[in-house]
């Protein structure tokens, strides 16, 4: 496998995976909304091709991927809505959370899967969350979207394994990313990551490179990566 397409590649886990896979010899298509962040990612990395597109732009996404050869698809893009009780959640935030974290990943996978099936090879990864598997307060819709991704990945694997296509769910606990930057102040975020106890994006990226290096007959169906030391309950990716 030589090419990888990664969504949400402008920061955090997505950016770390783009760098790590580029360093490992992959040609990387890095998708994200920020042109400047993508250009910064590409600087000095000729194997990275930046593609500025919103994953919720269905026509734009279809146009982008129609001519791409993709061996590894990493559905990583995600957002965290404002924290709070579900009863007070804005409908617009519900819609956005489901569209970015769930619907966009399903659509992109549908666009890429046929070419993998025709070749009889491929690997699809989803950045999930520990919030899909453990109940936390104030993130009900985020948890629902990530739980749906988990279920989709498991069922997708049963559809595609006969064609030699592998499917992996990545389940991070607290990772020090920008996920909360629009919904928590700097002081609150600093407190969340105090003590250097959070998993780093590069840690997740190293795991991804390692599992992609496994022989084709081995499929890591899910891997959980958590901080060694305990964190407070709101600490999911």
Residue pLDDT, tens place only, 185-198: 556 555 555 566 78
> 26, 142, 163, 193: which is the annotated catalytic residue?
142
Q: Per-residue pLDDT averaged across 27-49, rounded?
A: 96
- The enclosing H or E element of 166 equals strand 165-172
Fold of 3-225: Rossmann fold (3.40.50)
Exposed e or buried b per residue across 75-103, where buried means at least 16 C-beta atoms within 10 angstroms of its C-beta? bbbbbbbebeeeeebeeebbeebbbbbbb
- Provide the 10 A C-beta neighbour count for residue 224: 12
- Can you tell me the distance from the alpha carbon of 200 to that of 5, in angstroms, rounded to the nearest whole number? 21
Task: Please give the average per-residue pLDDT across 89-111, as a whole number.
Answer: 98
pLDDT of residue 178: 62
142 assigned to active site: yes
pLDDT at 235: 47
What number of CA atoms fall less than 13 Å from residue 125's CA on the CB side?
31
Using the predicted structure, report yes or no on whether residue 229 has a pLDDT greater than 80: no
Six token digits for residue 157:
């694997």
pLDDT value of position 183? 56
| Sequence-distant (≥ 6) Cβ neighbours of residue 157 within 8 angstroms | 166, 167, 219, 221
CB-facing half-sphere around the CA of 223: CA atoms within 13 A: 16
Predicted pLDDT at 197? 74
User: In angstroms, rounded to a whole number, what is the distance separating the alpha carbons of residues 210 and 220?
Assistant: 10
Is residue 234 over pLDDT 60? no
Query: Residue 46 burial by CB count (10 A; 0-12/13-18/19+): exposed, middle or buried?
Result: exposed
- Residue with the bigger pLDDT between 195 and 63: it is 63
**For residue 228, what pLDDT band results from cuts at 50, 70 and 90?**
confident
pLDDT above 90 covers a percentage of the chain that reads 83
* Residue reference for tokens 């998708």: 31
pLDDT digits (tens, 9 = 90+) for 121-133: 999 999 999 999 9
pLDDT value of position 175: 81
Closest Cα partner for 170 from 8, 1, 3, 2? 8
Q: Which H or E element spans position 73? A: strand 72-75
**Model confidence over 12-35: pLDDT tens digits?**
999 999 999 999 999 999 999 999
What is the rounded distance in angstroms from the CA atom of residue 80 to the CA atom of residue 212?
Answer: 28
| Averaged pLDDT score across all residues of the chain | 91
| Residue pLDDT, tens place only, 154-179 | 999 999 999 999 999 999 988 875 66
């Amino acid at each position: 496998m030589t090419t990888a397409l990664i969504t949400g590649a402008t920061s955090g886990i997505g950016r770390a995976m783009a760098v790590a896979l580029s360093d490992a010899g992959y040609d990387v298509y890095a998708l994200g909304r920020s042109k400047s962040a993508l250009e910064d990612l590409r600087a000095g990395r000729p194997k990275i091709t930046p593609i500025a597109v919103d994953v919720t732009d269905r026509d734009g996404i279809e146009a982008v991927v129609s001519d791409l050869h993709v061996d590894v698809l990493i559905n990583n893009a995600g957002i965290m809505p404002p924290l709070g009780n579900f009863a007070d959640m804005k409908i617009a935030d519900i819609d956005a959370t489901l569209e970015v974290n769930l619907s966009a990943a399903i659509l992109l996978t549908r666009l890429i899967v046929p070419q993998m099936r025709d070749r009889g090879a491929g690997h699809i990864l989803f950045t999930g969350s520990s919030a899909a598997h453990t109940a936390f307060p104030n993130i009900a819709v985020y948890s629902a979207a990530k739980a749906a991704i988990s279920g989709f990945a498991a069922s997708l694997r049963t559809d595609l394994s006969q064609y030699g296509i592998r499917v992996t769910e990545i389940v991070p606990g607290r990772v020090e990313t920008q996920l909360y930057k629009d919904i928590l102040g700097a002081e609150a975020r600093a407190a969340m990551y105090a003590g250097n106890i959070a998993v780093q994006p590069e840690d997740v990226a190293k795991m991804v490179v390692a599992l992609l290096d496994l022989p084709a007959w081995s499929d890591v169906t899910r891997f959980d990566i958590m901080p060694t030391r305990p964190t407070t309950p709101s600490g999911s990716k």
